[in-house]
Amino acid sequence: MMKRIHHHFSRIAHKYEDLRTTDLEPILSIKKKLQNSTRIEVADVGCGVGRYDIKLFHHIKKRLYLTCIDYNKSMLNELTKNLKGHKIKNFKTINASAMALPLAANSLDAIVTFNAIHHFKFLDFLKETSRVLRDNGYLFIYTRLRSQNKKNIWGRFFPEFHEKEKRLCELWEFKERLKKIPILILESIEYFKYKRLTRLEWLITQAINHHYSTFYLYDKKEFKEALKEFQENITHHFKDLDNIIWNDENIMFIIRKNVR
């Protein structure tokens, strides 16, 4: 499955930014936490094509020095184009796994990861984070819980979407795993709720292009049948197929490396 998903990200890299929604709210929360720093050295792990990195640079600006890390070279190539297209220079890219970060110990002020944690071996990633962060450094994990995934438009109307997506965790699971790395302290949790509006045509385009890697958990026949049922479910539930409205929910864990 991992090979299929890796191939998926290579295939979709050039249009990934257009297929996904990028939320501003977690960026503003991160900015508040880092606002007193004069120079901020940050790594975005699982950075993809840099959707969130562009927003980070827009709001933190000249103080930010960013290392963009992803396992997929095609994603990093698109990220470089995207950031340079926005005249961003203070970054470098590294093709590496989240579980083996090629960075020096105590070298970063913060690590961020946006909607990518379910692709990592969680404890290995946390161990690497605890090694790489400076004392009092921050880890920001923006993701969604399984229960949040169940309530979005895909979880509600796309057959078996939330049942198949087992890589996401619940709050209690996250806390239990974090306890195994005592040097990392959960400082706070932020919850986000977004009102979305779109057309059925666009939802179908997203699904066909597998904008969520969850869709690669279906075989071809399953996906074709599920997509057909999804369209029927949406048509039955929403009167205006050009104005489909629902809520998405996300969560951000704000974690700090404790000074002993």
Average pLDDT over residues 182-208: 96
Residue 242 has pLDDT above 50, yes or no: yes
What is the reported pLDDT for 60? 87
In this prediction, what percent of the chain has a pLDDT beyond 90?
Answer: 84
Distance CA 255, CA 260 (A): 15
What is the reported pLDDT for 16? 45
pLDDT digits (tens, 9 = 90+) for 134-162: 999 999 999 999 999 999 999 999 999 99
* pTM of the predicted protein model: 0.92
Distance CA 183, CA 233 (A): 47
What is the reported pLDDT for 234? 98
- Name which residue leads in pLDDT, 55 or 15: 55
Structural domains of the chain ordered from first start: 2-257 (3.40.50.150)
For residue 19, name the pLDDT band (cuts at 50, 70, 90): low
